[in-house]
Structure 1
Amino acid sequence: MTLNKMEDLKFDATERLSFDYVQGILQPTPTCDTWDQIWNFQAKPDDLLISTYPKAGTTWTQEIVDLIQNDGDVENSKRAPIHVRFPFIEWIIPSLGCVCWGSWYDHVKGWWEAKDKHRILYLFYEEMKKNPKHEIQKLAEFTGKKLDDKVLEKIVHHTSFDVMKRNPMANYSTIPTKIMNHSISPFMRK
Structure 2
Amino acid sequence: MVGDMPLIEYFADNWENVKNFQAEEGDLLIDTYPKSGTTWISEIVDLVVHDGETKTSQRGTIFERVPFLEFAVPGMPTVSYGPWGAHNKDFWKIRHQRDILYLFYEDMLEDPKREIRKVMKYVGKDLPDDVVEKIHQRTTFKAMKDNPMANYSNIPSSVMDQTISPFMRKGTCGDWKTHFTVAQNELFDEYYKKEISDTDLTFRF
Partner of residue 123, structure 1: 103
Structure that is richer in strand per residue: 1
1:87 paired with 2:67, answer: yes
1:88: how far off?
1.2
1:177 paired with 2:157, answer: yes
Q: Counterpart of 1:127 in structure 2: which amino acid?
A: D
Is the Cα–Cα contact under 8 Å of residues 6 and 78 in structure 2 kept in the other structure?
no
Partner of residue 178, structure 2: none
In structure 2, C-alpha distance between the alignment counterparts of 1:54 and 1:137, rounded to whole Å: 24
1:93: how far off?
2.0
Q: 82-91 or 162-171, which moves further after superposition?
A: 82-91
Partner of residue 15, structure 2: 35
Partner of residue 173, structure 2: none
Q: Select 1:54's aligned residue among 20, 30, 34.
A: 34
1:148 paired with 2:128, answer: yes
Partner of residue 114, structure 1: 94
In structure 2, C-alpha distance between the alignment counterparts of 1:91 and 1:138, rounded to whole Å: 26
In structure 2, C-alpha distance between the alignment counterparts of 1:67 and 1:145, rounded to whole Å: 11
In structure 1, C-alpha distance between the alignment counterparts of 2:169 and 2:102, rounded to whole Å: 24
1:133 paired with 2:113, answer: yes
Which runs of no fewer than 5 residues in structure 2 stay unpaired?
171-205
Larger radius of gyration: 2
Q: 113-122 or 35-44, which moves further after superposition?
A: 113-122
Q: Residues 10-69 of structure 1, C-alpha deviation per residue, up to 9 Å, x if partnerless?
A: xxxxxxxxxxx1121111110011001011111113111111111001100000001101
Secondary structure (helix, strand or coil) at the match of 1:83 reads helix
Partner of residue 5, structure 2: 25
In structure 2, C-alpha distance between the alignment counterparts of 1:63 and 1:34, rounded to whole Å: 26
Q: Residues 86-109 of structure 1, C-alpha deviation per residue, up to 9 Å, x if partnerless?
A: 121212121137641111110011
Q: Residues 112-153 of structure 1, C-alpha deviation per residue, up to 9 Å, x if partnerless?
A: 233243111111111110000011011111100011000000
Partner of residue 14, structure 1: none
Q: Select 1:77's aligned residue among 57, 64, 78.
A: 57
1:157: how far off?
0.5
Is the Cα–Cα contact under 8 Å of residues 91 and 99 in structure 1 kept in the other structure?
no
Is the Cα–Cα contact under 8 Å of residues 54 and 99 in structure 1 kept in the other structure?
no
In structure 2, C-alpha distance between the alignment counterparts of 1:64 and 1:112, rounded to whole Å: 21
In structure 1, C-alpha distance between the alignment counterparts of 2:91 and 2:18, rounded to whole Å: 18
Deviation beyond 3 Å, 4+ runs, structure 1: none
Q: Counterpart of 1:34 in structure 2: which amino acid?
A: N
Secondary structure (helix, strand or coil) at the match of 1:93 reads coil
